[in-house]
Structure 1
Amino acid sequence: MSTETQPLEVDDDLVAEDGEEAAEAPVEVAKTNLAKRRVIDNYLEERRLQKQLNDYDFDL
């Protein structure tokens, strides 16, 4: 057994091309998911505020 390590040859060009294609799709999905989450959060906030208005006693 040899304790000497040999450097690995890596083709960076192929990895960069595959990485670029794979990186584009998740960014769009993340933006879409974030937009959907914001819409849901806004809707829930609106419902919470409407409930507070309905529960508020205006006859103080």
Structure 2
Amino acid sequence: MSTDKEDLVVDDDFPITEEDVEPRIEPAKTNLSKRRTIDNLLEERRLQRQLADFDYDL
């Protein structure tokens, strides 16, 4: 290890790419409505599966 203090040259002129930009945050209301839509679709699929598996010959 060196104990000498050296001036370091830092290259701060690098291009900003789209990956470096912060993603846009959606409002909670939009996220909640999307979640409700997904939940409703999953519930409908579950109920359709139960109807298909139901034994009508009781």
Question: 34, 37, 56: which is aligned to 1:36?
Answer: 34
Offset of 1:31 from its aligned partner? Answer: 0.1
Offset of 1:41 from its aligned partner? Answer: 0.1
Amino acid at match of 2:56: F
Once the two structures are superposed, the pairs formed by residues 1-60 of structure 1 within 5 Å of their partners are: 29-60=27-58
Offset of 1:29 from its aligned partner? Answer: 1.0
Higher helix share: 1
The TM-score, its normalising length taken from structure 1, stands at 0.53
Offset of 1:38 from its aligned partner? Answer: 0.1
Question: Which of these two proteins has the greater Rg computed from alpha carbons?
Answer: 2
- Runs of 4+ in structure 1 off by over 4 angstroms are none
The aligned length equals 34
Structure 2: gaps (5+ residues): 1-24
Q: Provide the secondary structure at the position in 1 that maps to 2:27.
A: helix
